């Protein structure tokens, strides 16, 4: 009957037979299995913690970038309003912090 079983099942049965005969071997086997389970659990826990921290950092960075983009858009709108009021470029650049090239690009968009 044993020869009809699949190789994996044969191996499992021979390991079981060996372990059932030798108490010390069984205890070593169980200790090794416990170690492997503990190690896998620890790795999984660390992976989950890493993912959580990565997500938190990504969200913080996204918010920061979003604020920067929003700030840049606000500066552009202020510059557009100041241009429509007829203010000179130096005043607009000082008030908004935009560069001469950025201000020229805004002017070209308005024309």
24-46: per-residue pLDDT in tens?
A: 877 888 899 999 999 999 999 99
Residue from 78, 71, 69, 70 nearest 106 by CA: 78
Do the domain assignments include residue 87? yes
**Exposed/middle/buried for residue 98 (C-beta within 10 Å: 0-12, 13-18, 19+):** buried
Mean pLDDT of all residues in the chain?
Answer: 85
Structural domain total, the chain: 1
Residue-range definition of the domain harbouring residue 42 = 9-110
**What pLDDT, in 10s, does the model give residues 54-94?**
888 987 887 778 777 788 888 888 999 899 998 899 999 99
8 confidence band (pLDDT: 50, 70, 90): confident
Distance CA 39, CA 33 (A): 10
- CB distance 93 to 105 below 8 Å: no
Do the domain assignments include residue 2? no
Do the domain assignments include residue 13? yes
The pTM of the full predicted model, rounded to 2 decimals, is: 0.45
Do the domain assignments include residue 69? yes
Do the domain assignments include residue 33? yes
């Amino acid at each position: 009957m044993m020869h009809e079983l699949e190789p994996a099942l044969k191996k499992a049965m021979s390991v079981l037979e060996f372990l059932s005969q030798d108490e010390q071997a069984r205890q070593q086997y169980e200790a090794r299995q416990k170690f492997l389970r503990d190690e896998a659990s620890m790795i999984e826990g660390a992976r989950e913690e890493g993912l959580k921290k990565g997500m938190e950092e990504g969200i913080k960075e996204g918010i920061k970038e979003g604020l920067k983009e929003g700030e840049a858009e606000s500066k552009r709108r202020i510059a557009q309003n100041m241009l429509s009021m007829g203010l000179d470029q130096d005043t607009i650049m000082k008030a908004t912090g935009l560069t001469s090239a950025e201000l020229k690009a805004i002017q070209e968009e308005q024309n």
